[in-house]
Amino acid sequence: MTRKLLMLLPLLVCLAAVPAFAATVRVKADKTPLRATPAQNAVVVDQLKAGAILDLVDVNRDWYKVRDPLTKKEGYVLASAVDLQPGSAPTSSGQKTAAPGAAAKPAAARPVKKGDWTDRGYLWVGGLFQAGSSASTQLQTWPYFAETATTTVTYPAKNAPGFDIAGGYRVWRNLAVGVGVTSLSRSTTTTVTGSIPSPLYVNQPRTLTGGFGANTSETGIHLQATWAIPMPPKMMLMVFAGPSIFRVQQTIVQPQGIGVSSAYPYDLGVITSANTSEASKTAVGFGAGADISYYFSKSVGVGGMIRFARASASFPVTGQPSVSVVAGGFQVGVGLRILFPSSKTTKPGTPAKPQPKPQPKPKTPPKKK
């Protein structure tokens, strides 16, 4: 361990000595101006005192960029106004600088081009129609009179109307981020098939027939990235995609929840009742689609939307196989479309206005004695 420390000691000494060789300058005279940019007419951010020691940050032609080690304030001073301290070794960054007396030019903003979307955001409100998702099934088995009863409950797919609302905010050029919410519900009649043993005869099961009413409701939250494509003079196409989160509520048969006719001679397996519950689950999937709209004015119009969103939810049943339900599907919607114009909208091809150049502070006339 001692040998390792002795080997590291020279390295630690070198690292400790690095600050001693940092470049510094000394101010020659009182009230030396510290300017915001390397130019004679640049704004004065401070006035330096004679003898002040400053850290040298960079060399810019006839100017030194310096930093006050106490206040951490940075700025530029003429190289002739300071003395480079012994041991300092300034190097130029190689950056292009403005000539003395010239003000720094601000970067020009990107001009609005043809095809750019300049609105601040959008809002969709309307009705929705969803085509039926895949049918789902529930399997159950249970002991019955020393034999085994089996059932298959089929929940059929069914189309359903609903409600749709979505909104987004433009974050960059034609790209917006937003969220949509859909809500719908449907009622169906299940189909129950299977067999149940006879209470009188061994190995002579009865065939099950019948069904019962069931409900399904879905609330979808669709997080979407949207790319807007203006179609002058009055149309707009938006393409979107993102994750979809569904809250699904489904009718589920409880264990041994199928009731069968018990009248003599017990040769019919007609469903008379079902012990069910309304279970809820959250499922995460993916959705994508497009919306095309026509605007009567600058911000109000109508549009049509298509979306395909899908997710699978699994409902556990005690002692029985889980029930898998597919949420979402192919959706078509129509309704009101609203755009929120930006207050800084300019016509395509209009160059951005340059920022005004900073003006030097007027000199105060000397007081008369």
184 or 114: whose pLDDT is higher? 184
Q: How confident is the model at residue 21 (pLDDT cuts 50, 70, 90)?
A: very low
Share of the chain above pLDDT 90, in %: 52
Q: Residue 54's domain is classified under what CATH number?
A: 2.30.30.40
**351 within domain boundaries:** no
**102 within domain boundaries:** no
- Residue 299 sits in the same domain as residue 160: yes
**280 within domain boundaries:** yes
Ranked by mean pLDDT, which of 71-80, 139-148, 294-303 comes out on top? 294-303
Query: What would the DSSP string read from start to end of 304-361?
Result: EEEEEEEEEEEEEETTEEEEEEEEEEEEEEEEEEEEE--TT---TTPPPPPPPPPPPP
pTM of full prediction above 0.95 = no
Query: What would the DSSP string read from start to end of 173-186?
Result: TTEEEEEEEEEEEE
- Residue 145 sits in the same domain as residue 258: yes
Domain limits at 80? 20-84
Average pLDDT over residues 19-28: 71
* Structure token pair of residue 200: 């009188």
258 sits in which H/E element = strand 235-260
- Residue 316 sits in the same domain as residue 212: yes
Distances (CA, A) of 292 to 89, 128, 234, 235, 286: 64, 15, 11, 7, 21
Domain end position, chosen among 68, 84, 100 = 84
**74 within domain boundaries:** yes
**6 within domain boundaries:** no
Q: What's the confidence (pLDDT) of residue 183? A: 96
**142 within domain boundaries:** yes
Query: What would the DSSP string read from start to end of 44-74?
Result: EEEEEPTT-EEEEEEEETTEEEEE-TTT--E
Q: Residue 265's domain is classified under what CATH number?
A: 2.40.160.20
63-72, 297-306, 330-339, range with the lowest pLDDT: 63-72
Ranked by mean pLDDT, which of 8-12, 15-19, 117-121, 260-264 comes out on top? 117-121
Residue pLDDT, tens place only, 205-255: 989 889 999 999 999 999 999 999 999 889 999 999 999 999 999 999 999
- Residue 311 sits in the same domain as residue 170: yes
- Residue 235 sits in the same domain as residue 189: yes
- Res 100 pLDDT > 80: no
Per the structure, how many domains does the chain have?
2
What is the spatial distance between Cα 137 and Cα 87, in angstroms, rounded to a whole number? 84
Residue 333 forms beta bridges with which residues?
Answer: 128, 305
* Structure token pair of residue 334: 């129509």
